[in-house]
Amino acid sequence: MTASITTNTLPPMKYAPLLLLLLLTACGSNQPAEPAETAATATPAAPASPDEVRLSPAQQKAAGLESGAFVWKNMTSDVQANGVIDVPPQNMASISAIMGGYVQRVAVLPGQRVAKGGTVAVLRHPDYIQLQQQYLQSKARVQFLTQELERQKILDAEDVGAKRKLQQARADYAAEQATLRATSAQLQLLGVPLGRLNQGHITPTVALTSPIGGYVKSVSINPGQYVSPQDVLAEVVNRSELYLELKVFERDIAKVKVGQRVLFKIPSRGSNEDLAARVFLVGKAFNDGPQRTVSVHARLEPERDDVLPGQYVSAHIQTAGRRQPTLPEDAVVQAGEFSYIFSQTSPGTYRRHRVQTGPAENGDVAITLLDANTDTTRLIRHGAYFLDAEMKKGQEEE
């Protein structure tokens, strides 16, 4: 009997899918695992609002962001004004001749210092001689009429002379006295020394003198020139009381008060040095012209001798200050009509807020919030421009 051996063979097509599955599983188990850092360095998710920006930890570290709250400071607001350096009217003299004459000598030059009563020029004219002659004649006639009046008084007392002669003597004496006083006053205006004239010394020249001490601003005469009383021959300026004459616009004049400090620059000096002054007079009427400005006068503190009358100045009048919330200028982004600041709303997320800026001082600027519900405890004090750049980059990518 022959034993039969049966071989149990697997049908190839029936188990092929199973073999394929086992092969794929084995291959997948040999691939390396994805590093855990991939999720940490991935690009942050898109912000939920156009006013938000999200940064990765690496970006935050690179930006050097610093957060904090407002710092309250007493900020002074400035009123801008332009003007010139000037002197009071009583410190500027225009010298003219009392009577017309010819210039014999000019005694000063522009820029030269002249004392009060110092000679500026010497004039000559025949009329000066004639006026002195009239004075001496009038003086002699007064002496004669004085004696005549005394005689008439004696005759009237003895009832010898007529009353009419006494009255005539009194009238002639009074009239000649008036002529003598008028002539004497004219000679004093001309500067003729009456002491020498009373001794009989007649001079053909008169000296023009300065009524104030100061520096000669201009000289507009020369020897041989004829000058009349309406001509300005020279100008003298006393620089001991220099002040600023500023023009303040109508919208700002209500903020300006006496005693406020003024910081100003002189552009022609080519320096950014701030000079100081203090307001001592505020005008009460508008100046002529279409700009509607009011004059404000400020006295230099301290007085300076290195500035000149007529120099143009650019000034800032420091008005009364008040306590205001401030941030560093680096925390404020200027963007057209509004300015912006940022606050941290959550780790890696920052939100932009509209603000209005006020006066700036020592690197800090006053802030007025325009958006409600702003968290002021985690404001970005440094790095705002980095956040603004990242926000704009994200909007461009979108």
Number of C-beta neighbours around residue 307 at 10 A: 18
Q: Average pLDDT, stretch 25-31?
A: 46
Query: Which CATH number is 126-201 given?
Result: 1.10.287
Q: How far apart are alpha carbons 151 and 147 in whole angstroms?
A: 6
* Least confident segment among 95-104, 123-132, 156-165, 193-202: 156-165
How many residues are recorded in the chain? Answer: 398
DSSP 8-class letter at 212:
S
CA dihedral 194, 196, 198, 201 (to 10 degrees): -120
Are 116 and 210 spatial neighbours (Cβ–Cβ below 8 Å)? yes
Predicted pLDDT of residue 22? 46
Euclidean distance between the first and the last CA atom of the chain, given in angstroms as a whole number: 89
Q: Find, among 117, 135, 122, the residue nearest to 202 by Cα.
A: 135
Predicted pLDDT of residue 235? 95
Q: What are the structural domain ranges in the chain?
A: 52-75+322-397, 80-89+238-318, 126-201
Number of C-beta neighbours around residue 298 at 10 A: 27
Owner of token pair 């009255």: 167
Top-confidence residue, 103 or 361: 103
Phi, psi of 366 (to 5 degrees): -70, 140
Mutual angle of helices 163-190 and 126-157, in 10-degree steps:
150
Average pLDDT, the chain: 84
Predicted pLDDT of residue 161? 63
Would you say residue 109 has pLDDT above 80?
Answer: yes
**Per-residue confidence band for 271, with pLDDT thresholds at 50, 70 and 90:** confident
Q: How far apart are alpha carbons 166 and 158 in whole angstroms?
A: 13
Number of C-beta neighbours around residue 380 at 10 A: 23
Predicted pLDDT of residue 47? 63
The burial of 282, by beta-carbon neighbours within 10 Å (0-12 exposed, 13-18 middle, 19 or more buried), is given as middle
For 52-75+322-397, the fitting CATH number among 2.30.40.10, 2.40.420.20, 2.40.70.10, 2.60.40.10 is 2.40.420.20
Predicted pLDDT of residue 397? 66
Phi, psi of 286 (to 5 degrees): -80, 145
DSSP 8-class letter at 90:
G
pTM beyond 0.85, yes or no:
no
* Least confident segment among 182-186, 313-317, 359-363: 359-363
Would you say residue 221 has pLDDT above 90?
Answer: yes
**pLDDT > 70: percent of the chain:** 86
Q: What is the pLDDT of residues 46-89, one digit of tens each?
A: 666 788 999 988 888 888 889 899 998 877 778 889 999 999 99
**Token couple for 206:** 């008169």
* Least confident segment among 187-196, 204-213, 231-240, 364-373: 364-373
CA dihedral 118, 121, 126, 132 (to 10 degrees): 0
Would you say residue 35 has pLDDT above 60?
Answer: no
Q: Find, among 102, 256, 97, the residue nearest to 190 by Cα.
A: 97
Predicted pLDDT of residue 245? 95
Predicted pLDDT of residue 33? 45
Are 184 and 135 spatial neighbours (Cβ–Cβ below 8 Å)? yes
Q: How far apart are alpha carbons 389 and 202 in whole angstroms?
A: 91
Q: Which residues contact 389 (CB under 8 A, 6 or more apart)?
A: none
Top-confidence residue, 94 or 361: 94
Q: Does an H or E element contain 128, and which? A: helix 126-157
Angle at 153 between CA 147 and CA 156, to 5 degrees: 145
Q: How far apart are alpha carbons 313 and 329 in whole angstroms?
A: 27
Q: What is the pLDDT of residues 142-180, one digit of tens each?
A: 999 999 999 888 888 877 667 888 899 999 999 999 999
Q: In the CATH scheme, what is the homologous superfamily, with its name and number, of domain 80-89+238-318?
A: Efflux pump adaptor protein, beta barrel domain (2.40.30.170)
Distance of CA 159 to the CA centre of its chain: 83
Predicted pLDDT of residue 335? 75
Predicted pLDDT of residue 376? 85
